[in-house]
Amino acid sequence: MNQNRLDPVVIEKITALIGDRFTTSQAVRDQHGRDASFHAAMPPDGVAFVESTEEVSQIAKICFQYDVPMIPFGVGSSLEGHILALNGGISIDLSGMTDILSVNAEDQDCRVQAGVTREQLDQYLRADGLFFPIDPGAHASLGGMVATSASGTNAVKYGTMKENVLGLTVVMSDGRIVTTGGRSRKSSAGDDMTSLFVGSEGTLGIVTEIQLRLHGRPEQVAAAVCSFDDLENAVQTVIATIQVGVPVARMELLDAASIAAVNQHSHLSLSEKPTLFYEFHGTENGVKEQSEIVSDIVQDFGGGDFDWATREEDRNRLWRARHEAFWATKELKPNHEVWSTDVCVPVSILADCIVQTQQDIDENDLTAPILGHVGDGNFHVLILLDPDNEEDVQKATAFNSRLVKRALDMGGTCTGEHGIGLGKMGYLEAEQSTAIPLMRDVKSVLDPKNLMNPGKIFRLKDAS
């Protein structure tokens, strides 16, 4: 374990501020030094459980004065080592900032503190007939979802965090409190500072409040499952559906291995074949029309009949199973971890990319279900590995490199929704080689002491 590197004065000052909500206990530090990924833990030197923007600002001022790194922490569900304390410092735990500050049903927007989780918000909004569509698999906090530019199953219809964040409150490294954006549905008022923070993974500032765009709960919702004899036909169905322009709300692929895992974990009895999970939102007629068009496309590619989940509890069961695929996969082999990687490619070449990836998995004898938000061209591979087994780690690392290279060669991106964190820094260099110097410039001026989640996304110009 790391030695605690905090200046006692820092401990004293922060403790004076928030009392026993600041801790240097090893257990709490350990818990804040790992995310949901395979990365080895790197605990911070202390954890501050904050309750307000003002507290975050005060703590940042202390950290700025004493050159202490700050790492914003939501629920720890990130997947590329985002919250590991590479250079020590203080984990700013925002999970206690759970106030839903305002909901404006008429304008379909709300303002929340960064610790509000998507489930909490969803429960809250039901009474108003509204919902917030972004649903990464984890029980993530909305602050964390801003940080990684999260998306999930509904992005094909409703967009990602980028399209659904209207404004932010951010604490900068020196403790300044900045408000970006506003409540209007659009604005051309100056440089877009909101978008600069969305996806910046806590490296530019600590997001404490978020103004979100909401959506009306659809009048009618219908979900269906449909299986295929091979992966390629399932993916071709997706491509055709997107190209025809059917406004499906969700269109998820699970390969046979994923279905097997999900069946076991969630006590389902789906055919263990490549399968598409669909959801349609709209008016009664609209949903009927969409599902008829998609059903025709499915037939064209030899898919089976739609198995409909019409009751809300059946739909919820289905989507819960989909969202628990990560845990389901983890149960496939005892003492193994899941390395969940993601890439995203233009939809037209998704079939090639997935089929080649499947071949790669087979040839290298990996246990690695493929699944994902294929309507966006985004898919995940859940690589099972024993992190203590050198050969496992090497095989998984080499596979991940080939996967990302394949996606980049096809005009895609090294991550559709997980972000860069520590795990994909090298790939970002390949993908955004001319844009990284700009990111460095922006980082250097907005976080001049390199205290905000240091060591993530890209190497600093002057670092080795």
Binding to a second copy (CB under 8 A) within 304-363 occurs at 344-348
For a second copy, the binding residues in 254-293 under the rule CB under 8 A are: 283, 285-286, 289
Give the contacts of 194 (CB within 8 A, at least 6 positions apart).
Answer: 165, 166, 167, 168, 180, 181
The closest of 376, 385, 455, 378 to 422, measured between CA atoms, is 455
For a second copy, the binding residues in 360-399 under the rule CB under 8 A are: 376-378
When asked if residue 299 is in the footprint of a second copy (CB under 8 A), the reply is: no
For a second copy, the binding residues in 137-196 under the rule CB under 8 A are: 148-151, 155, 159-160, 162-163, 172, 176-180, 182-193, 195-196
C-alpha–C-alpha distance, residues 415 and 366, integer Å: 21
State in angstroms the smallest separation of the CB of 318 from a second copy: 23
Count of residues in contact with a second copy, rule CB under 8 A? 87
Locus of tokens 């790939």: 427
The closest of 274, 276, 294, 271 to 230, measured between CA atoms, is 274
Length of the chain: 464
Check residue 46 and report its DSSP letter. E
State in angstroms the smallest separation of the CB of 349 from a second copy: 8
State in angstroms the smallest separation of the CB of 161 from a second copy: 9
Of the residues 53, 77, 200, 291, which one makes contact with a second copy according to CB under 8 A? 200
State in angstroms the smallest separation of the CB of 109 from a second copy: 7
3-state secondary structure at position 344 = strand
State in angstroms the smallest separation of the CB of 266 from a second copy: 27
When asked if residue 441 is in the footprint of a second copy (CB under 8 A), the reply is: yes
C-alpha–C-alpha distance, residues 232 and 370, integer Å: 12
Q: Which C-beta is closer to a second copy: that of 434 or that of 464?
A: 434
Integer-rounded Cα Rg, in Å, for the chain is 22
For a second copy, the binding residues in 220-259 under the rule CB under 8 A are: 239, 243-245
Q: Which C-beta is closer to a second copy: that of 21 or that of 183?
A: 183
Q: Which C-beta is closer to a second copy: that of 211 or that of 266?
A: 211
* Contact string (CB under 8 A) for a second copy, positions 47-86, x = contact: ----------------------------------------
Of the residues 428, 452, 453, 454, which one makes contact with a second copy according to CB under 8 A? 428
95-99-100 Cα angle (round to 5): 125
Locus of tokens 């489930």: 119
CB atoms within 10 A of CB 314: 12
The closest of 112, 227, 268, 304 to 122, measured between CA atoms, is 112
Check residue 3 and report its DSSP letter. P
C-alpha–C-alpha distance, residues 431 and 81, integer Å: 19
Of the residues 69, 143, 202, 419, which one makes contact with a second copy according to CB under 8 A? 419
3-state secondary structure at position 270 = coil
C-alpha–C-alpha distance, residues 33 and 303, integer Å: 45
* Torsion sign over Cα 160, 164, 169, 174: positive
State in angstroms the smallest separation of the CB of 195 from a second copy: 3
Q: Which C-beta is closer to a second copy: that of 293 or that of 366?
A: 293
* Contact string (CB under 8 A) for a second copy, positions 2-41, x = contact: ----------------------------------------
For a second copy, the binding residues in 105-124 under the rule CB under 8 A are: 106-109
Q: How far is residue 415 from each of residues 271, 345, 428, measured CA to CA in Å?
A: 30, 9, 9
Of the residues 99, 355, 436, 449, which one makes contact with a second copy according to CB under 8 A? 436
State in angstroms the smallest separation of the CB of 210 from a second copy: 15
State in angstroms the smallest separation of the CB of 102 from a second copy: 11
